[in-house]
Structure 1
Amino acid sequence: MRKDIATPQYTKSILDKHKFKFKKSLGQNFLIDRNVLDKIVATADVSSETGVIEIGPGIGSLTEQLAKKAKKVTAFEIDQRLIPILEDTLSDYPHVKVIHQDVLEADLKAVIEAEFSGIDDLMVVANLPYYVTTPIILKLLTERLPIRGIVVMIQKEVADRMAAKPGTKDYGSLSIAVQYYAVAKSEIKVPKTVFVPQPNVDSSVISLTLREQAPVHVENENFFFEVVRSSFAQRRKTLLNNLQNNLFSKEQKPMIEGALQETGIDGKRRGETLSIEEFARLSNALLPLNRV
């Protein structure tokens, strides 16, 4: 049995063998700590009945540990240069498939249908490139895929924002967007020293357990998220100011005030103090204004 990929020495020997050079533009940072990988796999609760979608496998360090536990792993890799390396490093695992494609352009429902037929327990597990973390996670959440959840390593600052509660400095429109679709929990802090090359920031593993239904009732989802984004447009401004400057107009101020009064929300508050329930009430009350 070959050595684990996730050691500094073996990672270096793989990179040297294939003369691989890191591309900064692709945010390539490979994990070299087996303990961290074990914690990621355990957090995702991967078993012999689980199908796993991985994004950005790199040279296969996480893929390898997932393959030891999962029924099947399908990984998306954007960098053509890594495809032959993965064929080499994962040759012991016939139940692993690597797709050379940008996951943001992939038809994930079609891939799930083709790759995971007969597998009911599906997870997304990945060490995500920092520069595309948010678009990837929002795609996974908004497409309402038949998955149990998402466990990903991302920049600590972004993980903190996704899991943030109202009234904290990290709480914003991203917190609400993620928490509308999933229960978010920051699981493990990961120092930059366990990567090669070392990134400039620390990371966190976050788990997102998908909700069967949204935690609040909104009349119009797109408008709900517009209200949320507008309320955080200028963090120092009040709710009333942000709404009239970014979503409506000064002429509509009396009507915005009427909606705030109707929902019992003080227009002098800032967006970061509102719970997801308050945003839902407010967007429902403001919706008729949007049709004017």
Structure 2
Amino acid sequence: MPNSKRNNNSQTPRLEQKLLLTKTERFYLNILELPYHILREKYLPVVEIDDTYHPYSEDLHGVLVKLLPYLGLTDQEEKVAEYIIYNIDSSGKLRITPLELAEKFNIQVQQAKELIDLIFTEFAEEIQQNTVNENLMYIEPDIIMTPEKVEVRKIEVKDPIIAKALQMREETLFRICEEIRKVNEYFLRGYRKYPQIFTMRYMARLLGVHVSTISRAVRNKHVSTPLGILPLRFFFGRILNKKIVLQEIEKLLKLDSELTDAHITLVLKSAGIQISRRTVNKYRRMLEILQNNQNDKTTPSTGG
């Protein structure tokens, strides 16, 4: 029958697509969402794995400063943003006002507010992770990822329902991170500046699960890599924005203005930025317009 495949698939509905979930299904999804350190506190004993890949503990400021370059800020904005970060106290509160920030760096108060909002919006998860629990001395990664392998930290319990939920969590995280690892070997080895990123929808299609399953699995999780501990959502595209791509293209054109769009596309892809030649051409024209506007402003007018 032509619809037999569709009917077979419909017999195994995904949990998130059902209107009503059983108590056990809700429990499985809650376990999937919880980070390692909370699960460890709730369900001991812990089966520890080789933690030689775990980097030394980092404080809030170190974590945020490490992620700053991926916001696509200018050099001046990055200096201001770093100052903002080092003025976030241990409870996650900012010790300076936008007015004080504006006066110190000679910028508009509105720009100061926007940079503060950017830091607290983009890094909300990291700030919460590092300040919500004063007894948590460092981020405990849920996953260890090297260029060669992925390992999910395990917790073993005797209760069969809890054990099954933990096993499903481990399998889901492993499948997600294995896909990430396979396309990010060069990034993990330090050969690429940026990671290859996924959308959650694409990852869901790849694994045959609902997109909300990916969202739950990624939320509040951290992965230990040779580059340090990174939030798992780092690999899901929120950081490589339009501004950072424009900056990379501008840098390349300053080195060689004769580069073709095809050459720029190849260079960006080798750095981990997935982009089409058509998009490169569009951004290149945007840079040319900006440059022409700047030249018009700096060219003195000749009076009659």
- What interval of TM-score do these two structures reach, taking the shorter chain for normalisation? under 0.3
Structure of greater relative contact order (alpha carbons < 8 Å, 6+ residues apart): 2
Structure ID, larger Rg: 2
Structure 1 or 2: larger helix share?
2
The TM-score, its normalising length taken from structure 1, stands at 0.28
Structure 1 or 2: larger strand share?
1
